[in-house]
Structures are given as C-alpha cells and as structure tokens.
Amino acid sequence: MPTRNAFYAQSGGVTAVINASACGVIETARRHADRIGTVFAGRNGIIGALTEDLIDTSQESTEAIAGLRTTPSGAFGSCRFKLKSLDANRREYERLIDVFKAHDIAWFFYNGGGDSADTCFKVSQLSAAMGYPLQAIHVPKTVDNDLPITDCCPGFGSVAKYVAVSALEASFDVRSMARTSTKVFVLEVMGRHAGWIAAAGGLVEDHGIPVVILFPEIEFDQAKFIARVDALVRAHGYCTVVVSEGCHHPDGTFLAEQGTRDAFGHAQLGGAAPVVANMVKEALGYKFHWAVADYLQRAARHIASKTDVQQAYELGQKAVELALEGQNAVMPTVERISDAPYAYRIGTAALADVANVEKFMPRDFITEDGFGITERCKRYLKPLIQGEDHPTYVDGLPVYVSLRNAAVAKKLGPFELK
C-alpha cells in the first residue's frame, strides 16, 4: 500500500499539554511509516492549511518530537480563526480540500475545542461531497473542559491542578497574615461559560481552607455572596474566593468585561477579581488581595497533572489509530471506568454528537447555596489532578523545546484570508 500524508493542526487557546497530543500523533504516525508518509503541520493552525503554509514535521528529530510531551503552548502555532458556515464561505472549505489534495493528505487531525470539532466535522462532510474523501479526526483539547461525551478534556486536569495548588498556597499565606492584614484573597480563573476550572479551587476545602467559588453557571447574588464571605471570615479569620471570568449578574452582564471580542466573537474577559475584591472591601471593610492568573494557568506545564499529560498523549495516539482503522468524523474520548482507584479507557465519539455542544457543571456538582462543590464533584475532579510530570530543568528553568518548523514548498497559488 503506498503511503499517504497526514495533516495536523492546533486550534484555539493553547494549553500545557496540547503538544503532548501532537507528540502522540506524530510518534504514532512515525511508527506506521508503512502507511503514513509525512505528517504536515499547519503553521498557526488552520490558517496554515488555508495559506498552504505547511510545516514538515519529518525534519524534526526524534528528541525534539519527544520533547513536545513536556513543552507547553502550541509548537506549530495555533490560531483563533473560525471557518464560517459552508453557505457563508464555501470558498474556504474548498481551498482546504485543494491544499490537502495538492499534498496528498488523506488524514486530517484537528486538535481543538468545540468550534474546531465543528470545523473538523464540516471538512469531513464537504470532502466527501467534493469527491476527495478525507478522514477527519478531532483530537479534543480545552482547558474549559466543556466538550461533551468525553469524561474530561486534555488541558483541563493541568489547569485544575494549577488552580488547586495556587489556591492552597495563597490560602496558607493569607491564613498566616489574617490577624493584622489580608483577610480575603480573590483568585480569578478562566472559564467563560463552564465553571470546571473554578470548581478545582474547591478542592482546597479538604485541606481546611474556607473557600467561596463563583461559577458562571450560578447567577451572581451580591448580598448572598457578601454574607457568605463574612460568615467565613468570622469563623476562620480569613477566606479565599475563586471567581470564574464568566461569572455574571442575573441580567447576563459579566462582573468584568474589557469590552473587546476575540475572532470567534466571544467577549474577552478579565478583571472580575478586582471587582469582587472591592465589593468585599466596601461591604465589610476587610483588607483584600487579588490575583488574575490568566495565561499563567493554562501554560503552567511545570505543575501539569501526570494524568492529563498521559491522556493528552493517548488521545493523539488513538486519533492516528482510528484513522488507520478507516474511521472518519470521530473524536477519541476519555471514558471513566471508576473514580477511586481511578481507571479509564480511550473510547470514540461521533463528531456529529460533539460539534457545538457545551458541557456545563451539573447542578449536583455545585452545593445548594451555589458557592461550593459537592462530594460528587470532588470525586470527579480528584483523579484528574493526580500525579506530577516534572519537566527537566537546566539552570533553574524548565527545558521546553522550540521546533525548527521548516516550511514545505508551496504547490498552489496564494489564498487571501477574509
């Protein structure tokens, strides 16, 4: 059987472990050199495919590809670029197929979140309709943990570990200072619509830390929130608040919004922490401190969850195996077998069931008062932050790889992005 080529691209916000999935894809493809020729990567994600700006990953050494497993960020570049609907911009989809055809690409691996799953699904449908059947496999990735069907999403476990560790450490700090100084510490974390990341802050409760979580799933009730903070400070001398960037008032307005929107049309958030901290100060007079973790949380490979790294790799590996089995328009998933001891297997979901579905925190993962997580939620979260996978350090800093990212010669004319 003659070999054919594969295309891999990273999409949307990058994570501490998306490169571990890339590593899984490329290493597995290399083990199947009898069927897979070259893995091309899109420079800056799908934009690289549209502009025929392909990276030849075969020029990367075995060591460099192995190093992806411990390197955060997107090694080939990612982008926030959502393909329009087929009706609105069929031209883009046709261009993708043209590029794939020109480079004899038979497999399309797209590593991203919900929007990317949708794109991946459409590419699969259109390529069939255009007589160039392509196997499109989606590799799940999102720190937001909001993809359906899969038990969890690569990237989430490491952010959850970062948030839990950071909340624990900062809470110890506040606890020791609370007698004369800061009594309320507010940590803002990511999560536009789903509160999974904020929920991870609730894990410190088992370490004796009084914590209030503000979820996007629960409408913000200022009076109730202030009362809860006051009760905790009176009982413990201090408290920690973990606020999701997506936390919003009953009328839908976010606690803080910078007023700008990203390429997907999502509001770009940031700054809920100072808003919440000042609310506490004004209502209760307590001294506060606040932190906004922003990119630090999703890039924090140094404190990645070993479980997360392993699953990211295995899902990349499985994607290639599914492709070689002849599957199309699917996404490998994590299927949980048991909580404790934690056991899982890698399963498969149809992209038709994944695209454009968001998975929120179930109501029974949130305590009745809306400010904490339940035992059920803790059982869900705990395995996902388990294990450490420390990178190697040289001169005090982790060793992260930067690839050569050699360009593939173009075969087509230019294409204008609109």
Please tell me the count of residues contacting its own copies according to CB under 8 A: 79
Among 95, 248, 302, 359, binds its own copies (CB under 8 A): 302
Which residues between 117 and 156 bind its own copies (CB under 8 A)? none
* AA identity, residue 208: G
| DSSP conformation class of 399 | -
**Among residues 79, 117, 147, 312, which is the contact residue for its own copies, using CB under 8 A?**
79
Task: Kindly indicate which of the ranges 13-21, 60-68, 134-142, 407-415 contains the residues binding its own copies, using the contact rule CB under 8 A.
Answer: 13-21
DSSP state of 206: G
DSSP β-bridge partners for residue 386: none
Which x/- pattern over 304-323 shows residues binding its own copies (rule: CB under 8 A)? -x------------------
Residue of 57, 66, 62 whose CA lies nearest to 23: 66
Note whether 345 and 336 are within 8 A (CB).
no
Q: How far apart are the C-alpha atoms of 273 and 291, rounded to whole Å?
A: 7
Could you tell me the smallest distance in angstroms from the CB atom of residue 118 to its own copies? Answer: 18
Q: Which of residues 184-223 bind its own copies (CB under 8 A)?
A: 185, 187, 203-204, 207-208
The yes or no reply on residue 170 touching its own copies (CB under 8 A) is yes
Min separation Cβ 34 and its own copies, Å? 32
In whole angstroms, how close is the CB of 201 to its own copies at the nearest point? 12
Residue with tokens 């997506």: 246
375 binds its own copies (CB under 8 A): no
User: For the residues of 337-384, what is the DSSP string, one character each?
Assistant: EETTTTEEEEEEEEHHHHTT---PPPGGGB-TTSSSB-HHHHHHHGGG
Q: Is there binding between residue 89 and its own copies (CB under 8 A)?
A: no
Q: Specify the DSSP class assigned to residue 301.
A: G
Question: Looking only at residues 14 through 33 of this chain, which bind its own copies when binding is defined by CB under 8 A?
Answer: 14, 16
Q: To the nearest whole angstrom, how small is the minimum distance from the Cβ of residue 170 to its own copies?
A: 4
Is 98 catalytic? The answer is no
d(CA 317, CA 332): 9
Which residues does the annotation mark as catalytic? 144
